[in-house]
Amino acid sequence: MNDYATLTIGEKTLKLPVIIGTEGEKAVDIRGLRQETGFITYDPGFANTGSCKSAITFMDGEKGILRYRGIPIEQLAEESSFVETSYLVINGKLPTPEELTRTSVMLNDHSLVHEDMQIFYQNFPRASHPMGILSAMVNALRSFYPELMNTDEGFEITFLRLLSKVRTLAAMSYKISRGHKVIYPRPDYTYCANFLHMMFDSPVKPYVLDRDLVKALNVFWILHADHEQNCSTAAVRTVGSGRANIYASLSAGIAALWGPLHGGANQKVIEMLTDIHEKGLRVSDLVARAKDKKDPYRLMGFGHRVYKTYDPRAKIMKQVCDTVLSKMEIKDPLLDIAKQLEEIALSDSYFIDHNLYPNVDFYSGILLRAMGIPLNMFTVMFAIGRLPGWIAQWKENLDDPDQKITRPRQIYTGQNQADYLPMALRKKS
Ligand code: CMC
């Protein structure tokens, strides 16, 4: 193949360089296009636009492949912990035993948050969604920890501080929303065990850790750790590209993740399954609605911009759900409904022709329910898992000499030049 592509516009022919990634992905470098021809590209939703080169995550949507730093997600889910995977995603390599211990010690050292942060929570209206609160709190962290990240050590402390404190803030928000005493992290617990402890321990009812749930939470967060240039990661990179600090950038990422087409889908899936269960809706009717072009209804937890086959994360999530529910002897009717829905959808020609398969959010809520996580905290769980990815992508963007402030162009379709009309001359409506 040529190492350039040829584009002819009117009289002008352009040789555009071709860029090929390590897994053979191909791109046409159009950076000179506007200057040379006056044309821009038009690609709403950036479905065909590569915004960066990245060495963090590889996805093959046709084959259902997901790898962090080259390592398949299946191996990480089986062998790794969330802390080790976070290290891998952020630092680009698996840690040595000493590096992993140092990371765990630092996560423990930075797990408390300033006590004044509790006052913030008291002032949010009771009905506030935890994602809105989390986004605000992460932005507020910058005021409590304003140290500049101008050394490697400064970056390391800030990244670990974020991983540790966001988890503490999330558990704290749950306790405060229930009017319960805040539970502090324990130094003898691992990262995931500590989260469950902070969520569910109580002075009158000590929480007994379940090894299977701790393992399941590790897998849940590993599966969410990064997913290349999705909506929230693009938001983090965009905000970071204006040289906003990492707290502000992550706060924007959390806000972007909240949307029901993105991370908010995990809450919407359970609401959909609950409606089927409680209101006696028929699965086949919902499938029919999802296919009806006149109806905006969509099956939540189905479809993906990149995956045109079964999402590899959903495959693992489904297995973990089955294992955890059977070990805990939980009979969740929503799991049966989900499986029924999947079966009907996957044998339907609309879903087959549109390549619509379950995505990560389809089964994840059932696992979170088994852990006792309340519905409105589901997307917060996704956000904690996505932190290492956002951090790694923010840093990669900062270090990339090709990157500039993100500033797409547009095709203007509004009114041509018009004169200002004084109020006295305007017609009454
Ligand atoms: N139910 C019914 N039809 C669907 C669905 C669905 N869930 N998803 C896509 N389609 C149809 C859509 O109507 C369109 O049909 P047509 O070409 O005939 O007009 C076609 O499939 C392509 O859809 P699209 O909206 O152009 O695809 P997209 O890549 O822009 O959107 C998506 C991807 C994930 C936003 C979309 O599939 C969706 O809305 N899914 C439901 C929400 C969901 O589960 N989101 C979680 C995504 S995974 C977690 C994450 O990474 O955030």
Pick the residue with more confidence: 242 or 150?
Answer: 242
Q: Is the CB of 289 under 6 A from ligand 1?
A: no
Atom of ligand 1 nearest to the CA of 257: 52
C-alpha to C-alpha distances, 84 to 89, 191, 195, 222, nearest whole angstrom: 9, 11, 16, 9
Mean pLDDT (whole number) for 81-90: 98
CB of residue 230 inside a 6 A radius of ligand 1: yes
Task: Give the residue-averaged pLDDT of 141-162.
Answer: 87
Q: How confident is the model at residue 126 (pLDDT cuts 50, 70, 90)?
A: confident
Residue 114 Cβ < 6 Å to ligand 1 = no
Give the chain's largest Cα–Cα span: 80
pLDDT grade for 146, boundaries at 50, 70 and 90: confident
The span from the CA of 203 to the CA of 188, in Å, is 18
Q: Based on the number of CB atoms within 10 Å of its own CB, is 51 exposed (0-12), middle (13-18) or buried (19 or more)?
A: middle
**Tens digit of each residue's pLDDT (9 = 90 or more) over 243-264:** 999 999 999 999 999 999 999 9
Query: How many Cβ atoms sit within 10 Å of the Cβ of residue 117?
Result: 18
The highest-level CATH class for domain 4-60 is: mainly beta
For residue 368 and ligand 1, the question of a CB distance below 6 A is answered with no
Mean pLDDT, range 274-290, rounded to an integer: 93
User: Does residue 55 carry a pLDDT above 80?
Assistant: yes
Looking from the CA of residue 306, the nearest atom of ligand 1 is: 29
Rounded to an integer, the average pLDDT of 86-103 is 98
How far apart CA 403 and CA 410 sit, in angstroms, is 20
What tens digit of pLDDT does each residue of 172-191 get?
Answer: 989 988 889 999 999 999 99
**Residue 339 confidence (pLDDT) above 80:** yes
Nearest to 213 by CA among 231, 232, 199, 230: 199
Is 81 close to ligand 1, i.e. is its CB under 6 Å away? no
Say if residue 149's pLDDT is above 90: no
pLDDT bin (cut points 50, 70, 90) of residue 153 is confident
Binned at pLDDT 50, 70 and 90, residue 165 comes out as: very high
Q: Is the pLDDT of residue 148 over 90?
A: no
Beta strand 71-72 with 26-28: parallel, antiparallel or unpaired?
unpaired
Residues with a catalytic annotation lie at 304, 361
pLDDT: which is higher, 2 or 118: 118
Mean pLDDT along residues 217-229: 98
Over residues 309-338, mean pLDDT: 95
111-121 pLDDT per residue, tens: 999 999 988 88
Least confident among 81-90, 111-120, 223-232: 111-120
3-class SS string, the chain: CCCEEEEEECCEEEEEEEEECCCCCEEECCCCHHHHHCCCCCCHHHCCCCCCCCCCEEEECCCCEEEECCEEHHHHHHHCCHHHHHHHHHHCCCCCHHHHHHHHHHHHHCCCCCCCHHHHHHHCCCCCCHHHHHHHHHHHHHHHCCCCCCCHHHHHHHHHHHHHHHHHHHHHHHHHHCCCCCCCCCCCCCHHHHHHHHHHCECCECCCCCHHHHHHHHHHHHHHCCCCCCHHHHHHHHHHHCCCCHHHHHHHHHHHHCCCCCCCHHHHHHHHHHHHHHHCCCHHHHHHHHHCCCCCCCCCCECCCCCCCCCHHHHHHHHHHHHHHHHCCCCCHHHHHHHHHHHHHHCCHHHHHCCCCECHHHHHHHHHHHHCCCHHHHHHHHHHHHHHHHHHHHHHHHHCCCCCCCCCCCCCCCCCCCCCCCHHHCCCC
What is the predicted pLDDT for the residue at 179? 86
Q: Residue 267 has what pLDDT?
A: 96
Out of 47-51, 278-282, 407-411, pick the least confident.
Answer: 278-282
Share of the chain above pLDDT 90, in %: 90
- Residue 263's pLDDT is 98
What is the model's pLDDT at position 118?
Answer: 87
Which residues neighbour 184 within 8 Å (Cβ) at sequence distance 6 or greater? 112, 198
- Ranges of each domain in the chain: 4-60
Ligand 1 centroid – CA 303 distance (Å): 5
Q: Over range 228-236, report the average pLDDT.
A: 98
Residue 422 predicted with pLDDT over 70: yes
Q: Give the residue from 352, 359, 346 showing the smallest Cα distance to 230.
A: 359
Average pLDDT over every residue of 128-143: 93
The answer, yes or no, to whether residue 95 has pLDDT greater than 80, is yes
Predicted pLDDT of residue 429: 81
Atom of ligand 1 nearest to the CA of 290: 2
